[in-house]
Amino acid sequence: MAKVLVLNASYEPLNITSWQRAVILVFKGKAERLEHNGKFVYPGCPLPTVIRLRYYVRVPYKEIPLTRRNIFYRDAHTCQYCNYSGDELTLDHVLPRSRGGGESWENLVTACVRCNVSKGNRTPQEAGMVLQGRPHRPHSSLYFEVRRCVTSGTHPEWGKYTIGLER
């Protein structure tokens, strides 16, 4: 069933909720409806897909687990050296483990098998390879979820509220 993106009063994405809860928030005057998908809960009550709270909510920072899946996701399943996108992806330690490189968002990138093998036990500079960008810790776990819904086409209208949340 349809999900609703909830924005803070500051227009920053806050969370994703069910349409039922979103309708209640709008109905109680706690949120305003920014987008709807042309469907109606009942006549005169459009089904929202994005709402904005009328009051500001403070959110504690939520750590995203450093996992293979999440790193692939951050890198859009694309080799960060040659842009290859496909099934044969691996994780590369930018500074190799044997040379003190750690497990972190800043030191792990998605790499295809070919690039990983040809880089070997060297730094990108030594191997003459260039990273597409500096690897970062993702902004928030909500961003992952929102981007998944935008890229899958479930909620393309959410895209404009996540500009600036990238990475």
For binding to Zn ion (CB under 5 A), which residues are involved?
79, 81-82, 84, 112, 115
Residue 37 or 107: the one with the smaller Cβ distance to Zn ion is 107
Nearer to Zn ion, 31 or 111 (CB): 111
Q: Are strands 31-42 and 3-7 parallel, antiparallel or unpaired?
A: unpaired
Nearer to Zn ion (CB atom), residue 19 or residue 81: 81
Closer residue to Zn ion (CB): 125 or 152: 125
Count Cβ atoms within 10 A of the Cβ of residue 101 and give its class: 0-12 exposed, 13-18 middle, 19 or more buried: middle
Instruction: Give the whole-angstrom CA distance, residue 18 versus residue 151.
Output: 20
| Closest CB 69 distance from Zn ion, rounded Å | 19
Q: Hey, what are 104's tokens?
A: 């972190």
- C-alpha distances in Å from residue 164, one per residue of 59, 62, 126, 130, 140: 17, 18, 33, 24, 12
Minimum distance, C-beta of residue 119 to Zn ion, in the bound complex (Å): 9
3-state secondary structure (DSSP) of residue 21? helix
Provide the minimum distance between the beta carbon of 82 and Zn ion in the complex, in angstroms, as a whole number: 3
Distance CA 140, CA 62 (A): 7
Compute the least distance from the CB of residue 113 to Zn ion, in Å: 8
Minimum CB distance to Zn ion, residue 25 (Å): 46
Beta carbon nearer to Zn ion, 14 or 79 = 79
Q: Using alpha carbons, select from 19, 53, 11, 24 the residue that is nearest to residue 36.
A: 19
